[in-house]
Structure 1
């Protein structure tokens, strides 16, 4: 696979890990009905002060679609550096990064979808909590799969310790969701 961002290679992944690779499946939902796209839309059209709490509580991995996670990372980077985070500025960052034709095209398409999703800046925190809540639910699927695999592969005397480890991770995820909801709720009431 080529790593030259100017090669125009449609298989160029822009340096993403295999599980982060973008594909056309990232763009299959109507953005007007997708909490991830609506969250990104709200952040794109919010002031830096209003967008900052969302950037503080969310992570790229909270997004189901790698394109949304990648856009979130770009937007968060702009905000953290005190730079504009509007749609045109993010489009310029995508171009300047030279992400390759395939990757750049998917990011640009996801940006266009998010830009026009129709979210209001006031609803951004609500959409962010929805994104995090969906990630929280997915974490239970992952935990269940880990426990199933452990039941098949670990020695009997290691099973309970593994269960406790998974449980602690889920407790941390629960606390993170509760904290994010409180932070975003308080930022809306200001």
Structure 2
């Protein structure tokens, strides 16, 4: 008669661990010369999240996580007004200058049927918005910064100019023109 022995491999151990789980409840006391120095009480459960939820563990964590992701998804939507539709979207920047702080702020440009909007997804913020009818003049300028020549769009409003950079300048300019449907708008290149 030969003894029978089951050979368990790593796959079997992981399968058992994920499907059934393991609960460890251990108390450990370290002594030197009969004098207890360190005590350790260890209680642990090791299993897949699905298994832990089946056994009633981590329910509050699961509920809070799902609520957080739902809230993040709801907030990540672009804040469009009623009867507003996005007609063109692209990644780009706007020049921000407030006191000593000056920088290009990144986000997604949305040209809608009513306004021009720069939306940053993380953290959620509207960096720029302007009704299309307030745009007075559009000009494209070549700028030399740090040895690089780049084109940027300048949008003229009543009392300010917005400096914009986008990946496809020609498409962006055409989308603004199309959204405005105003043949008298002056578009100048310099």
Tell me the TM-score normalized by structure 2. Answer: 0.23
> Would you tell me which structure has more strand in proportion to its own residues?
2
Greater length-normalized contact order (CA 8 Å, ≥ 6 residues apart): 1
- Which structure is larger by alpha-carbon Rg, 1 or 2? 2
> Would you tell me which structure has more helix in proportion to its own residues?
1
Tell me the TM-score normalized by structure 1. Answer: 0.23
